Amino acid sequence: KNSLLNLNKFHGINLTYHDSLIPEESLLFIQNQIKSGLPVILNIDLFNAPWFGDEYRKYHSLHTCLVTGVCDDGLYCVDSIPLMYGANLAKDDFLQGVRGFYAIEVGNAEFSDFDYNKILKDVVNNVSYKNQNGNMFEQLRTFSKLVEYELDISREVEGHERIWDSPFLRGITSIR
C-alpha cells in the first residue's frame, strides 16, 4: 500500500481499482482509457486468457496483465507470466473473465524536487552493503549456483496440479 501512495506522492500516478462495474461497462471504460493514452492493469480469470496455451479454458485462477491497446474483436494485452509481448483478448473472453482492473491517472506529484545524488548513493550503499551472507550480487551468484546444481524441479512441482502452484515458483514470481 505504501508503494501505491509513494507512486502518487512522488510521481503523480494514481491507481484506482474498479471491480463493481458490469463487464460491458468495464470494457467501455477500458477502451476509453486506452484511447486517452493510458494502459490498464487487468485482473482476469486465467481460464479466459488464450495466451496461456494448454491452460486456456482448463483452470480458474486470478491473473493480472496489462492492457495496452484496443483491437476490432477486443483488447490487446501484454503479460510477463508467461512472457508475452502482446496478444489479443477477444471480447467474449474479456466479458467472461474480467475480475476488476486498475485505471491509471497521471497528475502532479506532491514532491518533485528529488535529491537524485542521495538516492543513487543510497542505492549503491544498499547494493554494496555486506551482511553475514555477502552483498546482494554475491547472494544472487549463490542462488544461481543452487538453482543450477541443486534444484530438482520435478521434486518441487510434485503433488501440485499446476506448476505455478509449487512453492518454488510461487516464491520466484513474488520477488519484487
CA distance 36 to 148: 46
Look up the pTM and report it.
0.63
Cα end-to-end distance, the chain, whole Å: 14
Which residues, other chains included, contact 14 with Cβ-Cβ below 8 Å and sequence gap of 6+? 7, 8, 104, 105, 106, 107
Banded pLDDT at 57 (limits 50, 70, 90): very high
- Determine the average pLDDT of the residues in 11-40: 93
pLDDT digits (tens, 9 = 90+) for 134-159: 666 677 777 788 778 877 877 877 88
Q: Cis omega before residue 82 (within 30°)?
A: yes
CA distance 70 to 115: 39
